[in-house]
Amino acid sequence: MTNTDSIQSFFSPSCEVKIPEPTTELHSVVSRWSDSGVDLPAAVVVPSTEDDIIAAIRLAEAKGFRVIPGCGGHGSFVPIDGKTVYLDLKKLRTVSVDKSNDSVIIAGGALAADVLKACVAEGYYTLFPNSNAVGMIGAFLGGASSAFNGIHGFGIDNVLAIRLITASGSILTLTPSSTGEEASLFNTLCGAGHGLGIITSLTLTAFPISGLRLTDNKIWIRRTIFPPTAIATAAEVYMQLQPPAGPLVPILGFARAPPNSPAKGAPMIMVSLAYFGPREEAEQAAAAALAPDVTGQAISAATLAVPFANMNDGADAFNGHGGLKEMYTCMLESLSVASITRAFERWRRLGDEVEDACPRTYTIVGSWNTQALVASAAAAAGAGGADSKFYRHRSRGIIVQTTAWYGKPETKAAADEYGREALEIFREEDAKNKVAPASFANNLRFGLDLEEVYSRDMIGELKRVRQLWDPKGIFWSPVGDDRFR
């Protein structure tokens, strides 16, 4: 039997299976947000049923492979190599809203855009990530941060049920009422869930859009672009909005003007504000950004009324697959105008000095009101237990994500040096206050100390739960990968 026949024999004839040759072009079988750490897998399986997934698990068990599910492909911290069975979940994308109990059932391969569109069509929203192309389950497993953190907390705080195929091939339905080891598994999936099984459906609470009282049913968005000379003003405006009101989502960004712009390649600073409430409230909450002396320094400033279904479109430029990307992330308690200004100069220097990283390297600083996140934990404790979900940094309301995006492998050293230095600058205030470095489970990076994401107790429990449910290591998990500390 050839290798191909032997792999195919695990699957029904209706299941799509690709077995790459050494000469196969990588992108013809696997498309990922970043090509860093991605090689040809042993096989690509495109399941259309749960039985196909179980067959992939049996194949991995028999051949000593590892099953890695792929959905949006944005998980740049997940290694793919010749021992990987890549489970491409693109055929499992159904989303159905159940209005009778304000919930949404999401299939294992659905993207944020699938969930957004299906919910909005029924007059609802849920906790989908801010990027259309991100996989819903991938985001959920690390917490699911969304534009609604300040109103409802994270996705993991609003989960009703998880349908999971385990490494033994059994199918479990886990809920907040699960008991014993199934309860431990449920809690671990909520924030530290990468590599504990294959989720084929996730049920989240869905919220009526009408509850937000939007003016004309549209989202108030204010976008202001500043030139480099106005970095201090942009930083001051951003900091005046901290901590943001619950429905306000302020984002500060550094990016180069796109190739089709008259100022092609020029560094720009963007302050983007979205408000999930009435326009008058939005204008009050965002007053600092609307002052004439602020807009007077901008290249452009516009107030938009954006249909709900398009709320994530502004981030599409960051979703392109391919190329090499190093994502550096930190979560902060505090930040200063001086640090933002220095971080901007460091970002600009990378582009000025390293042509390969110039056009597309970007920085995003996002923030949210932490009250809803903290309240969710308190509610869990009030219900008779401690907060047993795996999200440690509920009181940190600022996240920095800076991505060095380049094309030549030899640029990696400069990209990494940039990332390390940028985080050090962003962390200056927290360091002064002796606040320990923190990072986000959804933005892991090889070399990261996992204690930046989880407490020591959480890591111990994650290892225990993984050993119990996946003793043979059929799935990839950061705790089984020595590229993490």
Ligand X SMILES: Cc1cc2nc3c(=O)[nH]c(=O)nc-3n(C[C@H](O)[C@H](O)[C@H](O)COP(=O)(O)OP(=O)(O)OC[C@H]3O[C@@H](n4cnc5c(N)ncnc54)[C@H](O)[C@@H]3O)c2cc1C
Instruction: Please report whether residue 199 would count as binding ligand X according to CB under 6 A.
Output: yes
Task: Give whichever of 232 and 459 is closer to ligand X, judged by the CB atom.
Answer: 459
Residue 68 interacts with ligand X (CB under 6 A): yes or no: yes
User: Given the rule CB under 6 A, which of 12-20, 192-200, 213-221, 273-281 is the region that contacts ligand X?
Assistant: 192-200
For residues 301 to 340, the per-residue mask of contacts with ligand X, x marking binding by CB under 6 A and - elsewhere, is -----------------xx---------------------
Does position 350 interact with ligand X (CB under 6 A)? The reply is no
Nearest 5°: the CA angle 87, 88, 92 is 110
Contact flag: residue 272 with ligand X (CB under 6 A): no
Asked whether 154 and 144 are in contact (CB, 8 A), the reply is yes
Q: From start to end of 43-185, where are the E strands?
A: 43-46, 66-70, 84-88, 95-98, 103-107, 124-125, 159-165, 171-174
Residue 140 or 230: the one with the smaller Cβ distance to ligand X is: 140
Q: Is residue 89 within the footprint of ligand X (CB under 6 A)?
A: yes
Distance (Å, whole) CA 148 – CA 129:
9
Footprint of ligand X on residues 359-418 (CB under 6 A)?
A: none
Report, in Å, the least distance between residue 5 CB and ligand X: 28
Instruction: Report the residue number, 116 or 235, with the smaller CB distance to ligand X.
Output: 116
Minimum distance, C-beta of residue 69 to ligand X, in the bound complex (Å): 4
Residue 66 as a binder of ligand X (CB under 6 A): the answer is no
Both tokens assigned to 171: 């199918």
| Closer Cβ to ligand X, 145 or 187, answer by number | 145
Q: Which are the contacts of 79, defined by CB distance < 8 A and separation ≥ 6?
A: 37, 38, 476, 481, 483
Positions 92 through 121 that interact with ligand X (CB under 6 A): 108
Question: Nearest 5 degrees, angle CA 286-CA 249-CA 279?
Answer: 50
Kindly state whether residue 137 participates in binding ligand X, applying the rule CB under 6 A: yes
Place of tokens 């079988």: 29
312 closest CA partner among 468, 114, 180, 161: 114
Q: Which of 20, 79, 138, 267 binds ligand X (CB under 6 A)?
A: 138
Distance of closest approach, residue 411 Cβ to ligand X, in angstroms: 18
How is residue 270 written in tokens?
A: 């963007």
**Smallest separation, CB 134 to ligand X (Å):** 4
44 binds ligand X (CB under 6 A): no
Q: Does 145 bind ligand X (CB under 6 A)?
A: yes
135 belongs to the binding site for ligand X (CB under 6 A): yes
Nearest to ligand X of 294, 398 (CB atom):
398
The C-alpha angle with vertex 102 and arms to 73 and 311, in degrees rounded to 5, equals 45
Which CB atom, from 294 or from 311, has the smaller least distance to ligand X?
A: 311
For ligand X, which residue of 47, 129, 150, 478 counts as binding (CB under 6 A)?
A: 129
Residue with Cβ nearer ligand X (188 or 443): 443
Annotate each residue in 424-443 with x if it binds ligand X (CB under 6 A) or - if it does not, as one string. ------------------xx
122 burial level (CB within 10 Å; 0-12, 13-18, 19+): middle
Cα angle vertex 368, ends 357, 216, to 5°?
100
Taking contact as CB under 6 A, which single stretch among the options 129-137, 267-275, 295-303, 337-345 is the one that binds ligand X?
129-137
Q: Name the segment binding ligand X (CB under 6 A); options: 49-57, 114-122, 142-150, 276-284.
A: 142-150
| Smallest separation, CB 305 to ligand X (Å) | 22
Task: Give the separation between CA 117 and CA 129, rounded to whole angstroms.
Answer: 13
Residue type, 92: L
Task: Provide the sign of the torsion angle of the four alpha carbons 271, 452, 161, 153, taken in this order.
Answer: negative
Instruction: Please say which residue, 75 or 419, places its beta carbon nearer to ligand X.
Output: 75
| CA angle, 430 then 78 then 119, to 5° | 85
* Residue 88: partners with Cβ closer than 8 Å, 6 or more residues away: 30, 44, 45, 46, 70
List 47, 72, 150, 478, residue binding ligand X (CB under 6 A): 72
Size of the site for ligand X (CB under 6 A): 33
- Helices within 402-455 (DSSP H only): 412-426, 428-432
Distance CA(97)–CA(343), nearest Å, equals 43
Written as six digits, the tokens of 163 are: 């349908």
Give the residues lining the site for ligand X (CB under 6 A): 33, 68-75, 78, 89, 108, 129-131, 134-135, 137-139, 141-145, 194-195, 198-199, 318-319, 442-443
